[in-house]
């Protein structure tokens, strides 16, 4: 709900650039959301099968459109802005020339083209890597490198490249004329050492599999520090006042974790988004899964070990599109969104769904590149309603598995869980998740948690608060709490034990299916 500010109060502008839309959001210094404008766009264009590209001008145009709309509707809020923070999607690469010109469309995180890669370890090193089950992971990761593909297939473009930027870095460059980004935003198939929170040294494995010349790398500015100020050109193009500080923030997931108030390993962050994630914030570097880095937090000197379900609460859209014909029809007739009608299906099956269980590997899995989705335990009592509840429970089982992995690695028990993302607006989904995790679950007052995380850093970076902790404490507000049901604990604990047995039994089957069908490639 939008609010007003008192005379003399300052505002904070957050820009959240996602895959399908960009949102310009204005917050008060107490974390209240004052106004926002969302600008939609096509997620990507696909000139060839498997390609997913976007013209960076689309993102910049959306930023300008969003600011212009708010300047028209809320000129006082724009005029009162004391700082700007940008958070954005990860693993999306933009190349610019010396004059700032974009050299080719951005290759987004959804792109599946493959590079050959230049790193080919000798026999001894190859054997050593295979011995620790690392060789295949390196080769697969190397083939996903966007810059690797460009170097191999578009060498003239690479030769002209002045800077390699992420989406946040590009928008910050357009605003300030400075090519810089935070460690938290530099997440992708690039040579960044997250343990040291700086560009990787030549001997680091990421420098070997994702080679980028030093002179093509952007400057690194810690989260909460000023990158620069809105330039005259940036002001002319956006309508923002010139001279406003632009503060380094972090990636969408890192800012989301901060925007939920997760500042230590005792509170976990769950994102009920298209890609579902579970994260903790820790002051000790610890890999969530062997050889998978803990990314830099949107907080200097801290990390956010993360485990993701690639096709997470996208599964709700999958159900709606493939099986939710009745709910779509009712939604059309009543004007209620289909997801609200689908929510009622969760009451049509008991906890545990009479043993119907789902593994949500409808996309790539961190466990296994070849893993697939599976649903087992069907009986004559199961219908569409049971499938929907099994999806929600299966996602929660998978998140619990990730949460337990993070607890094991950090050595710190999680006391409570904070949730965000579209599906977190469902009380039923939150309650089911709390039951399966067997932990208290809290939901923030705003759904714009990534933008709030950026605003927390902007407030700190512009002097509203003396520390990031104080900024978060004053700006994060809780709107819902869900306690696990003691009545469901025993059942879900026993079913979870069964769930964890499914993957080890099926993983060889998944791999054999891949060998026979060639899918996934």
**In which domain, by residue range, is 376 found?**
310-409+487-517
| Phi, psi of 307, rounded to the nearest 5 degrees | -125, 130
Query: Tokens 């997470």 — which residue?
Result: 312
Tell me, yes or no, whether 187 lies in a domain.
no
What is the predicted pLDDT for the residue at 95?
99
Alpha carbon 485 to its chain's center: 29
Tell me, yes or no, whether 369 lies in a domain.
yes
pLDDT at 367 over 70: no
What is the predicted pLDDT for the residue at 358?
95
Question: How many angstroms separate the Cα of 475 from the Cα of each of 99, 256, 268?
Answer: 39, 13, 18
pLDDT at 4 over 70: no
Tell me, yes or no, whether 513 lies in a domain.
yes
Enclosing H/E stretch for 401 = helix 384-410
Cα atoms in the 13 Å half-sphere on the side-chain side of 177: 11
What is the predicted pLDDT for the residue at 123?
84
What is the per-residue pLDDT across 370-411, written as a single tens digit (0 to 9) for each? 788 999 999 999 999 999 999 999 999 999 999 999 999 999
Which comes out higher in pLDDT, residue 513 or 128?
513
Give the mean pLDDT of the chain. Answer: 93
Tell me, yes or no, whether 474 lies in a domain.
no
pLDDT at 133 over 80: no
CA distance 312 to 419: 14
Bridge partner residues of 22 (DSSP): 17, 39
| DSSP letter string, 455-519 | HHHHHHHTTSSSSHHHHHHHH--EEEEEPPPHHHHHHHHHHHHHHHHHHHHHHHHHHHHHHHH--
> How many domains are contained in the chain?
1
Per-residue confidence at 119, pLDDT binned at 50, 70, 90?
confident
Tell me, yes or no, whether 382 lies in a domain.
yes
Give the mean pLDDT of 196-203: 96
CA distance 125 to 513: 30
Tell me, yes or no, whether 501 lies in a domain.
yes
Tell me, yes or no, whether 371 lies in a domain.
yes
CA distance 263 to 288: 17
* Closest-CA residue to 213 (of 144, 159, 274): 159
Question: How many angstroms separate the Cα of 163 from the Cα of each of 158, 246, 365?
Answer: 10, 19, 31
What is the per-residue pLDDT across 287-341, written as a single tens digit (0 to 9) for each? 888 778 999 999 999 999 999 988 889 999 999 999 999 999 999 999 999 999 9
What is the predicted pLDDT for the residue at 364?
67
Tell me, yes or no, whether 37 lies in a domain.
no
What is the per-residue pLDDT across 7-33, written as a single tens digit (0 to 9) for each? 678 999 999 999 989 999 999 999 999
What is the predicted pLDDT for the residue at 274?
84
pLDDT at 418 over 90: yes
What is the predicted pLDDT for the residue at 383?
94
What is the per-residue pLDDT across 423-457, written as a single tens digit (0 to 9) for each? 998 999 999 999 999 999 999 999 999 999 999 99
CA distance 61 to 14: 16
Residue 319's CATH number: 3.30.420.40
What is the predicted pLDDT for the residue at 224?
98
């Amino acid at each position: 709900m939008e609010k007003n500010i008192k005379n003399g109060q300052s505002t904070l502008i957050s820009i959240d650039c996602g895959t399908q839309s960009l949102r310009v959001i204005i917050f008060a210094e107490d974390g209240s959301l004052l106004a926002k404008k969302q600008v939609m766009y096509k997620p990507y264009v696909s000139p060839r099968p498997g390609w997913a590209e976007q013209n960076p001008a689309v993102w910049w145009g959306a930023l300008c459109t969003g600011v212009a709309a708010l300047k028209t509707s809320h000129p006082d809020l724009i005029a009162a802005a004391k700082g700007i923070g940008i958070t954005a999607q990860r693993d999306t690469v933009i190349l610019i020339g010396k004059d700032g010109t974009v050299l080719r469309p951005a290759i987004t995180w959804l792109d599946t083209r493959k590079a050959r890669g230049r790193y080919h370890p000798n026999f001894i090193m190859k054997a050593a890597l295979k011995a620790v089950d690392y060789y295949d992971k390196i080769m697969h990761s190397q083939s996903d490198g966007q810059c690797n593909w460009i170097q191999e297939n578009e060498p003239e473009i690479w030769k002209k490249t002045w800077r390699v930027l992420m989406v946040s870095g590009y928008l910050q460059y357009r605003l300030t004329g400075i090519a810089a980004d935070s460690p938290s935003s530099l997440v992708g198939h690039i040579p960044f050492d997250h343990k040291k929170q700086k560009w990787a040294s030549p001997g680091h494995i990421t420098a070997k599999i994702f080679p980028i010349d030093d002179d093509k790398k952007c400057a690194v500015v810690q989260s909460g520090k000023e990158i620069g100020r809105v330039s005259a050109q940036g002001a002319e193009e956006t309508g923002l006042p010139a001279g406003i500080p632009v503060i380094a923030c972090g990636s969408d997931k890192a800012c989301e974790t901060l925007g939920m108030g997760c500042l230590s390993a005792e509170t976990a962050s769950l994102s009920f988004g298209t890609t579902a994630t579970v994260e903790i914030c820790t002051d000790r570097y610890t890999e969530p899964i062997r050889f998978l880095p803990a990314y830099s937090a949107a907080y200097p000197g801290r990390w956010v070990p993360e485990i993701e379900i690639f096709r997470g609460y996208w599964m709700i859209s999958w159900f709606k599109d493939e099986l939710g014909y009745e709910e779509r029809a009712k939604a059309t007739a009543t004007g209620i969104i289909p997801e609200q009608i689908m929510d009622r299906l969760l009451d049509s099956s008991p906890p545990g769904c009479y043993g119907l269980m789902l593994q949500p590997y409808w996309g790539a899995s961190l466990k296994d590149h070849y893993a697939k989705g599976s649903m087992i335990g069907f009986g004559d009592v199961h219908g569409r309603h049971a499938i929907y509840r099994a999806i929600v429970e299966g996602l929660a089982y998978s998140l619990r598995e990730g949460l337990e992995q993070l607890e094991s690695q950090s050595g710190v028990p999680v006391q409570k869980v904070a949730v965000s993302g579209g599906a977190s607006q469902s009380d039923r989904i939150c309650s089911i998740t709390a039951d399966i995790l067997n932990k208290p679950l809290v939901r923030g007052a705003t759904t714009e948690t990534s933008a709030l995380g950026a605003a927390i850093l902007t407030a700190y970076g512009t002097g509203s608060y003396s520390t990031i902790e104080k900024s978060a404490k004053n700006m994060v507000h809780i709107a819902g709490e869900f306690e696990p049901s003691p009545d469901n604990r025993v059942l879900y604990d026993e079913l979870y034990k069964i769930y964890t047995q499914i993957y080890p039994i099926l993983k060889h089957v998944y791999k054999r299916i891949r060998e026979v069908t060639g899918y996934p490639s």
